[in-house]
């Protein structure tokens, strides 16, 4: 089960804030009054030393343990929430749909403000910054499942997309690809003969991976991108469930722009490495 860390952080920040606020409004005053009353009594009691008075006063003013933790964690959690919600968020790629550009186990740095500032959890945009461009790599929530996906932006609102015979066309123009090498492609049920190409799209040159023996039509070859939607395709073209399967992505479901690989960890008991670190090419 996927964990919504933004929701968890919001709950933790709200919980710590409420505990701190309730203590300040309803409980702290009682502690202060008790300490003041004790100080008044102690001033007339010669049996109590100054150290005893100080210790008892500190005890009476001491916050409950829950309040201490809430006050300590609130600013830290709030900072993390603001950072993840409005600036940058790490994301680990669980599938191979973006191979060879992004490998399984890569940790991606996602720019959360590139496409506008959005409220955490609900995702409502509160400030426009820029719109997605063709060729960029975007993290989003697809229309069929409530979890993060990562693909390349291929079509903008109003574009006509065609994918036929493993060739990609945008508004009638073919996206050029050059042969790089013959490779073996892991499909999860065994390796198949594949082809590694280099594609150039909107000034972005990136690798694509094809499996010639796989039927790429998927029952449909062309789409028109609706207003306020984006057409997303994985670089692992014949081994990617994307907009060719579940349709365009609403701008309301945009999470952010993927800008770099900052860490990699293979599945299982393996140490993380930095050998895959790289920034993604951006449109000119």
Model pLDDT for residues 15-38, shown as the tens digit of each residue: 999 999 999 999 898 989 988 888
In terms of domains, do 33 and 120 share one?
A: no
Q: Is residue 203 part of a domain?
A: yes
94 lies in the same domain as 193: yes
Sign (positive or negative) of CA dihedral 133, 138, 144, 146: negative
Residue 119 lies in a domain: yes
Same domain, 81 and 97: no
Same domain, 272 and 188: yes
The band of 265, judged by pLDDT with boundaries at 50, 70 and 90, is confident
Confidence band (pLDDT; 50, 70, 90) for 1?
A: very low
> Based on the domain organization, do 262 and 248 belong to the same domain?
yes
pLDDT of residue 2: 56
In 10 A of CB 260, how many CB atoms? 16
136 has a pLDDT exceeding 50 = yes
Average predicted confidence (pLDDT) for the chain: 89
More confident residue, 188 or 106: 106
**Residues near 277 by Cβ (< 8 Å), separated by ≥ 6?**
260, 261, 262, 263, 264
Q: Are residues 145 and 71 in the same domain?
A: no
Q: Could you confirm whether 151 is annotated as catalytic?
A: yes
Q: What is the pTM of this model?
A: 0.80
Q: Can you tell me the mean pLDDT for 35-52?
A: 80
Least confident among 45-59, 122-136, 226-240: 45-59
Check whether residue 72 and residue 212 sit in a common domain.
no
Q: What is the pLDDT of residue 251?
A: 94
pLDDT at 216: 64
What is the structure's pLDDT at 268?
75
Catalytic annotation, pick one of 6, 85, 112, 151: 151
Is 284 part of a structural domain of the chain? no
Q: What does the pLDDT look like over 181-228, one tens digit per residue?
A: 999 988 777 788 999 999 999 999 999 999 988 876 666 789 999 999
Are 78 and 97 found together in one domain? no
CATH code, domain carrying 127: 2.10.109.10
Highest-pLDDT range among 73-77, 121-125, 248-252: 248-252
136 with 162, same domain: the answer is yes
Do 164 and 121 belong together in one domain? Answer: yes
Final residue before a domain boundary, out of 86, 112, 133: 86
Residue 244's Cβ-side half-sphere holds a number of Cα atoms within 13 Å equal to 27
Rounded to the nearest 5 percent, the helix, strand and coil shares of the chain are: 30, 30, 40
For the ranges 120-129, 211-220, 244-253, the maximum mean pLDDT occurs at 244-253
Query: Which of 52, 86, 120 is the C-terminal boundary of a domain?
Result: 86
What is the rounded distance in angstroms from the CA atom of residue 95 to the CA atom of residue 179? Answer: 24
Are residue 111 and residue 133 in the same domain, yes or no? yes
Q: Is residue 42 part of a domain?
A: yes
Residues 74 and 141 in one domain: no
Cα 121–Cα 116–Cα 232 angle in degrees, nearest 5:
85
State the burial class of residue 44 (Cβ atoms within 10 Å of its Cβ: 0-12, 13-18, 19+). exposed
- Look at phi and psi of residue 253 and say left if phi exceeds 0, alpha if psi is from -120 to 50, else beta: alpha
Give the separation between CA 271 and CA 202, rounded to whole angstroms. Answer: 37
Segment 247-253 mean pLDDT: 95
How many domains does the chain fold into? 2
Task: Note the pLDDT of residue 201.
Answer: 93
Structural domain contains residue 132: yes
Helices H / strands E in the chain, number of each:
5, 17
State yes or no: is 222 an active-site residue: no
The residue from 85, 97, 240, 243 that is catalytic is 97
Structural domain ending residue among the three candidates 45, 67, 86: 86
The residue segments making up the domain with residue 48 are 5-86
Mean pLDDT of 242-255: 94
Average pLDDT over residues 257-277: 86
């Amino acid at each position: 089960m996927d964990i919504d860390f933004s929701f968890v952080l919001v709950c933790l920040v709200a919980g710590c804030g409420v505990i701190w606020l309730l203590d300040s409004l309803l409980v702290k005053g009682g502690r202060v009054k008790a300490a003041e009353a004790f100080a008044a009594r102690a001033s007339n009691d010669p049996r109590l030393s100054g150290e005893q008075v100080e210790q008892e006063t500190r005890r009476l003013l001491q916050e409950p343990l829950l309040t201490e933790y809430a006050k300590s964690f609130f600013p830290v959690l709030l900072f993390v929430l603001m950072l993840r919600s409005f600036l940058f968020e790490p994301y680990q790629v669980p599938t191979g749909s973006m191979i060879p550009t992004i490998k399984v186990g890569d940790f991606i740095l996602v720019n959360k403000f590139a496409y506008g500032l959005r409220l955490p959890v609900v995702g409502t945009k509160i400030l426009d910054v820029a719109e997605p461009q063709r060729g960029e790599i975007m993290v989003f929530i697809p229309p069929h499942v409530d979890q993060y996906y990562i693909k390349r932006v291929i079509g903008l609102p109003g574009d006509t997309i065609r994918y036929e015979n493993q060739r990609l066309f945008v508004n009638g123009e073919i996206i050029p690809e050059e042969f790089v090498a013959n490779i073996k492609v892991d499909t999860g049920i065994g390796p198949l003969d594949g082809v590694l190409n280099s594609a150039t799209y909107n000034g972005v040159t990136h690798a694509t991976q094809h499996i010639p023996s796989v039927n790429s039509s998927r029952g449909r070859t062309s789409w028109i991108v609706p207003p306020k939607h984006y057409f997303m395709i994985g670089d692992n073209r014949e081994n990617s469930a994307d907009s060719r399967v579940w349709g365009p992505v609403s701008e309301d479901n945009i999470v952010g722009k993927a800008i770099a690989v900052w860490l990699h960890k293979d599945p299982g008991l393996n140490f993380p490495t930095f050998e895959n670190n790289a920034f993604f090419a951006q449109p000119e």
